[in-house]
């Protein structure tokens, strides 16, 4: 992919020597200890767990003024969902097509982080989170890789106006799918494979005020998943498809010592063709959160967050689903109401400590891979977590 680009602007020997001076290497390591009163969250068992670990290494290189190469490898261990095997979070070439004091445009090729919401593009770096965990009713960790990046191309541009900066991005490519996606959308790991059904399409429109205090945006994605059943399985689903539309409305205001953030997400879903044991279904999930952070000291930040999410916006208490399941699932598996408080301490530029407490009503945000029996989910439960993060 890069060879034709570099051929257009070949490097001189002197330029080739100076290319490596632009090389930047950064990395981080994060370890958390989690405790839940009930249910499983980033853990292979109930109770206290050290199963949440992240180690990342990223690099960037600018071989030409108009070309940036960047990528990151992450090893993530998170309960039953991720086993610590290193994987590529992103690996891209960023080609500048236009650069003036008032306007900028470019093209990205490769595995590109999806510009969804306020936090998705930086969700892979713990230092950029508002808390240990992103608001789960919008940024689902149970399908993290599907949400995080896409293999394809993105056009982006921004322009300065009298009120602030207006930016637009358009992106297309293949979704990144793993076993967690199949568990989340099909409820189990059935014999067969879940693959992209055509291309995913993403778009986002953002506004930043002059002093960057106010940020407003709308972003969304349209994608589809296709299940190819195993021919040799005794029992599996039919060759069905899952259509996903995901929309996020975002607003954030930042003052000198505090920040207010709110986002609303809606996700129309449609399952069809999976056979009699998985009837065709069309629902719309919904979620929102309101969040405030306050910095009483440059090294200390306090967090307060409230969020609600619903598997079906027409059945917010989950009772209709529980009745239809004939007791196999609880009503609380279909919604989540979460109150979170947290504290962050930036010890120095390399080290950070965090502590967070969450009270949950409902289990919608939980991964079915970690909690495979929805009939055993506990409605009211608590989560406490402490995390240490290092970066260089």
| Sign of the dihedral defined by the CA atoms of residues 100, 101, 106, 108, in that order | positive
Backbone angles phi, psi at 72, to 5 degrees: -150, 135
- Residue 44's pLDDT is 72
- Residue 180's pLDDT is 95
- Residue 325's pLDDT is 86
What tens-digit pLDDT sequence spans the chain (392 residues)?
Answer: 555 555 445 555 555 556 788 899 999 999 999 999 999 998 876 668 899 999 999 999 999 999 999 999 999 999 899 999 999 999 999 999 999 999 999 999 999 999 999 999 999 899 999 999 999 999 999 999 999 999 999 999 999 999 999 999 999 999 999 999 999 999 999 999 999 999 999 999 999 999 889 999 999 999 999 999 998 888 899 999 999 999 999 999 999 999 999 999 999 999 999 998 899 999 999 999 999 999 999 999 999 999 999 999 999 999 999 998 887 889 999 999 999 999 999 999 999 999 999 999 999 999 999 999 988 899 999 999 999 999 99
For residue 54, count CB atoms less than 10 angstroms from its CB and return exposed for 0-12, middle for 13-18, buried for 19 or more.
Answer: buried
Radius of gyration of the chain (CA): 22
- Residue 17's pLDDT is 59
Spatial contact of 153 and 109, defined as CB atoms under 8 Å apart: yes
Per-residue tokens: 84: 């610590």
Per-residue tokens: 95: 């080609």
Per-residue tokens: 60: 């960037």
The pLDDT tens digits of the residues spanning 111-138 come to 999 999 999 999 989 999 999 999 999 9
Domains recognised in the chain with CATH numbers: 22-391 (2.40.160.10)
- Residue 122's pLDDT is 92
- Residue 374's pLDDT is 87
359/244 Cα distance (integer angstroms): 29
**Nearest CA to 361 among 341, 383, 329?**
383
- Residue 309's pLDDT is 98
């Amino acid at each position: 992919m890069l060879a034709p680009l570099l051929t257009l602007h070949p490097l001189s020997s002197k330029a080739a020597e100076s290319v490596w001076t632009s090389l930047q290497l950064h990395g981080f390591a994060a370890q958390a200890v989690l405790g839940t009163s009930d249910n499983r969250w980033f853990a292979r068992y109930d109770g206290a767990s050290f199963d949440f670990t992240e180690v990342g290494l990223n690099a960037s290189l600018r071989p030409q003024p108009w070309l940036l190469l960047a990528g990151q490898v992450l090893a993530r261990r998170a309960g039953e969902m991720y086993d610590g095997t290193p994987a590529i979070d992103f690996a891209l070439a960023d080609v500048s097509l236009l650069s003036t004091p008032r306007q900028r445009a470019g093209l990205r090729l490769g595995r590109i982080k999806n510009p969804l919401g306020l936090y998705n593009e930086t969700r892979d770096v713990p230092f950029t989170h508002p808390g240990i965990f992103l608001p789960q009713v919008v940024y689902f960790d149970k399908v993290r890789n599907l949400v995080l990046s896409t293999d394809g191309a993105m056009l982006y541009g921004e322009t300065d106006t009298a009120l602030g900066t207006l930016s637009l991005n358009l992106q297309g490519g293949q979704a990144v799918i793993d076993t967690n996606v199949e568990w989340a959308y099909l409820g189990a790991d059935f014999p067969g494979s879940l693959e992209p059904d055509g291309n995913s399409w993403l778009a986002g429109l953002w506004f930043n005020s002059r002093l960057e205090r106010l940020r407003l945006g709308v972003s969304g994605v349209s994608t589809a998943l296709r299940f190819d059943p195993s021919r040799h399985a005794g029992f599996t689903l039919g060759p069905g498809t899952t259509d996903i539309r995901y929309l996020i409305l975002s607003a954030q205001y930042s003052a000198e010592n505090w920040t207010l953030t709110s986002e609303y997400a809606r996700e129309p879903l449609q399952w069809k063709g999976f056979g009699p044991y998985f009837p065709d279904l069309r629902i719309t999930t919904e979620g929102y959160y309101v969040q405030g952070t306050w910095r009483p000291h440059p090294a200390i930040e306090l967090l307060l967050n409230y969020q609600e999410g619903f598997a079906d916006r027409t059945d917010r208490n989950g009772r209709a689903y529980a009745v239809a399941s004939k007791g196999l699932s609880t009503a609380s598996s279909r919604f989540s109401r979460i109150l979170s408080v947290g504290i962050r301490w930036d010890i120095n530029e390399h080290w950070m400590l965090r502590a967070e407490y969450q009270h949950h009503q409902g289990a919608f945000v939980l991964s079915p891979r970690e909690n495979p029996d929805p009939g055993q989910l506990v409605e009211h439960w608590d989560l406490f977590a402490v995390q240490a993060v290092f970066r260089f």
